Amino acid sequence: MKYYEYEVAFSFAGEDRELVDEIADQLRKANIRVFYDMYETVSLWGKDLYTHLDEIYRKKSKYCVMFLSNNYKEKVWTNHERESAQARAFTEREEYILPIRLDDTEIPGIRPTTGYIDGTLFTASEIAGFIRSKVKGM
């Protein structure tokens, strides 16, 4: 089994940070290795983020959880993260991108046939539990 630096990498718009922060905190307490920008402040400081984030989303994470919303669609950085994750998903046949929809916005390259979690129907704790189960293969 391949080792990944992160078991899950989060891609989200800043406007959705409150939900993501709560989920990241619960996963961290469950000893899940999470790439979440607030946990990486020092390691990101001074880095070429364009290249570094491409590495994270294309190579260094077992799964990429995308918190999809209209805010997500409009951001330059989330689009960069999504494109890197999609490049990885294109070359592998295993599940990699795990969408969590926060509204009905269509996101380029995320097919409507891809299974997703409706983030409006579940609590942060429940979503963290789903991610934990996926990471642990349950």
pLDDT in tens, 67-83: 999 999 999 999 999 99
Strand partners, 67: 100
Record the tokens describing residue 110, joined without a space. 């995320």
The matching CATH number, chosen from 3.30.565.10, 3.40.50.10140, 3.40.605.10, 3.40.50.9100, for 6-135 is 3.40.50.10140
What's the confidence (pLDDT) of residue 94? 85
pTM of the model: 0.94
138 has a pLDDT exceeding 90: no
Q: What are phi and psi of 36, to 5 degrees?
A: -140, 125
pLDDT tens for residues 4-52?
999 999 999 999 999 999 999 999 999 999 999 999 999 999 999 999 9
Q: What are phi and psi of 11, to 5 degrees?
A: -125, 120
